[in-house]
Chain A
Amino acid sequence: MNSLTLIRAEEVSKKYVKSLRRSMVYGMADISRDLLGLSTRSEKLRPGEFWSLDNVSFALRRGECLGLIGPNGAGKSSLLKLLNGLMIPDRGRILTRGRVGALIEVGAGFHPQLTGRENIYVNASILGMKKVEVNRRIDSIIAFSELGDHIDSPVKFYSSGMYVRLGFAVVAHLNPDVLLIDEVLAVGDAGFRSKCYNALDESLSRSAAVFVSHNMEAVSRICTRVMVLDKGRVLYDGDPVQATTRYSQLFSQGKEQLSKDPGYECLGVEMQSSRNVGYGDSLAFRVRLKTPRRHENVLFLVTLTTASGEIAAEFRNDNVGLRLDLEAGISAIQVRLDDVKLLPRRYDVTFLVIDRPADHLFWLRNMESVTITGNHTGVRPYQISGHVEVSLSAKNKKRTVASASRNSE
């Protein structure tokens, strides 16, 4: 093991079984085999079993953070449990060094009858902290949790947010070498969340971390490297932006065309610009439609949706003051979207043609997909452009000048 490598997973695989009865039978069989010293690391799957993780390998050094993303049931949490030592792999091996801190469920082990303060001691002890360590950090933990006077009332009277704050406060003071985080940042209010991120950033520099999340913004913010898992297999491992794109492709829903009745037909959507455009560039499409009769003053919409189905941006012809009339027969609609300042990632393009009042002629869902390139980052797909600068106050200027002149002497 490299002196800096804190986690190493080598061809790790894990079997799983869906049926409860079989799970019990296999569990007993595995325990008996363990007791008799027989090997339980069989390559063969028993009836009803499948690989919930298949051949996963990686190594992390101090300061590195691996993001694990993938659809539900991809094996992310299983991998985290294997790393935490809660499960043992059926194939391959896992090596960790130093203290392992897992944020798999905050507040697990809290006793509802005990006060917050008492629970800090219990929880810290379960997580492997010594009493002297807790004594040294207790004030800091209580301050972090922002619980104030509530710290001495039983946790069963806490709100769910308070509960999580207390749990996170304990773990944030654990100072682990290996940090495992499972989706816990999705809790608490915005203020506490940003505090958690800060605490995390700080411990990340001192540890090797594995972060499981469905929140792509969080993943691309925190992780130095991202692994996409699907059905237990590694689909991609590497650059976070590439990984989130790969992830969104897993969810891209198929094309879907709906029209008012068979007389209305979409003859095709063509891309007239590149599918990969830079931040702030234009996108152009041509939509050919067949309508049995004339429709005056229709509403034409283009929406760009992210992989998670969120509408990132919308174009409406009425907002730009353009009137559209569809003649009976075939019409070709040319549309150009300018200045597309969306965060670099993949978007699905949907077209809608609506005859007022509320009469949907065409609903052409996810007909195209475009990828915005560039290195802008952020939380919201739309980024406002603008200008910002710092100006020195007169007083400050004088001081700077004075110190500058002193330096030059």
Chain B
Amino acid sequence: MIRGACSQRELTWRLFMRDFRARYSQAFLGFLWAFILPLVVVGTFLFLNRSGVLTIGDVGVPYAVYAILGISVWQIFAAGLVRCGNAIVAGGSMVVKINFPKDTLVFAAMGQALVDFIVRMLMVGVLMAVYGLVPKWEALLFLPAILPMILFSLGLGFIFSLANVVFRDISHMLTILTTFLMFATPVLYPSRGGLFAAFNRYNPLDVLVNAPRELVVSGTIQHPVRFAVVSLMAVLLFLLTWRIFHLAEVRMAERMGTR
């Protein structure tokens, strides 16, 4: 299966480039769109914080850096999951007419989410320079630290992309689910006890978002053990669902009908 994925590298890359070019060939603002979403969300929270409707408290670094970093990592999950979940259905007629490894569609969809992520990281870099923040060398660990997030999103993405074929409700559900989870997870504000903290004790997304961010901001991880456990779970989840996807992809094309 893994060797198969290596031999499909080229196809995955082609599919990724296809969507990538298509996405930006007609958009006037092009890459700017990747900046707009985090700017709007973070702007809203800055506004709410300043006007006292919401008190976020001290996060150790300028709030804009904190929030944009958080939302960038978060969007790997949110956008990645939505894109992966729709990957097979969006493949349309070629999924039912051509026999090719369908997991390439899911990988290529995740690639799109990662493009946005890279673009947003540039924005974070600029912001940090503006605030005069110099990250410690541990910040470099940030890159491997987002891997569990990617694998976790792919893992769920495999399952949802399959389920979406059978139940089209999934794609609507995913959008709502990710929006809800964004507020339920400490992405834009830190966790401060109560029900919120109790929920996030069992929410793997909490440490998946916060561990990479802490690495950039402070150079340390607050809950290294939890991060390690969750990362291991993410790897296992990814491998398991990838296997399931392989077994089920033929059945799926069967049920998609001919058109």
Contact = CB atoms under 8 A, between A and B. Distances in A.
A111 to B, nearest CB: 5
B83 to A, nearest CB: 16
Contacts of B253: 86-87
Interface stretch (A22-30, A193-201, A312-320, A363-371): A22-30
A35 B244 contact: yes
Given A102-B98, A109-B98, A126-B100, A24 B250 contact: no
Contact-residue bracket for chain A: 20 to 34
B22 A30 contact: no
B179 interface: no
A121 interface: yes
Interface stretch (A43-51, A127-135, A227-235): A127-135
Given A23-B255, A126-B11, A130-B10, A34 B247 contact: yes
A113 interface: yes
B66 to A, nearest CB: 37
Given A108-B93, A126-B100, A118 B251 contact: no
Contacts, number: 91
A35 B250 CA distance: 12
A323 B123 CA distance: 95
Given A105-B93, A131-B10, A126 B22 contact: no
Contacts of A108: 92-94, 97-98
A118 B18 contact: yes
B258 interface: yes
Contacts of B93: 105, 108-109
Interface in B76-123: 91-94, 96-100
Contacts of B254: 27, 86-88
B25 interface: yes
Contacts of A31: 162, 247-248, 251-252
A127 B98 contact: yes
B99 A100 contact: yes
Contacts of A109: 91, 93-94, 98
A84 interface: yes
A118 B14 CA distance: 9
Interface in A55-98: 77, 84-88
A84 B14 contact: no
Contacts of A118: 18, 21
Contact of A111 (B22, B98, B244, B252): B22
B26 interface: yes
B15 interface: yes
B5 to A, nearest CB: 15
A23 B92 CA distance: 19
B142 to A, nearest CB: 33
B169 to A, nearest CB: 11
A118 B251 CA distance: 31
A24 B257 CA distance: 11
Nearest to B7: A130
Contacts of B180: none
Given A27-B252, A86-B96, 5 more contacts: A86-B254, A102-B98, A118-B21, A127-B100, A128-B100
28 contacts: A27-B254, A27-B255, A31-B252, A34-B247, A34-B248, A34-B251, A35-B244, A84-B99, A86-B97, A87-B254, A88-B250, A102-B97, A104-B97, A105-B97, A108-B92, A108-B94, A111-B18, A111-B22, A113-B25, A114-B21, A114-B22, A122-B17, A125-B10, A126-B11, A126-B14, A126-B15, A127-B100, A130-B10
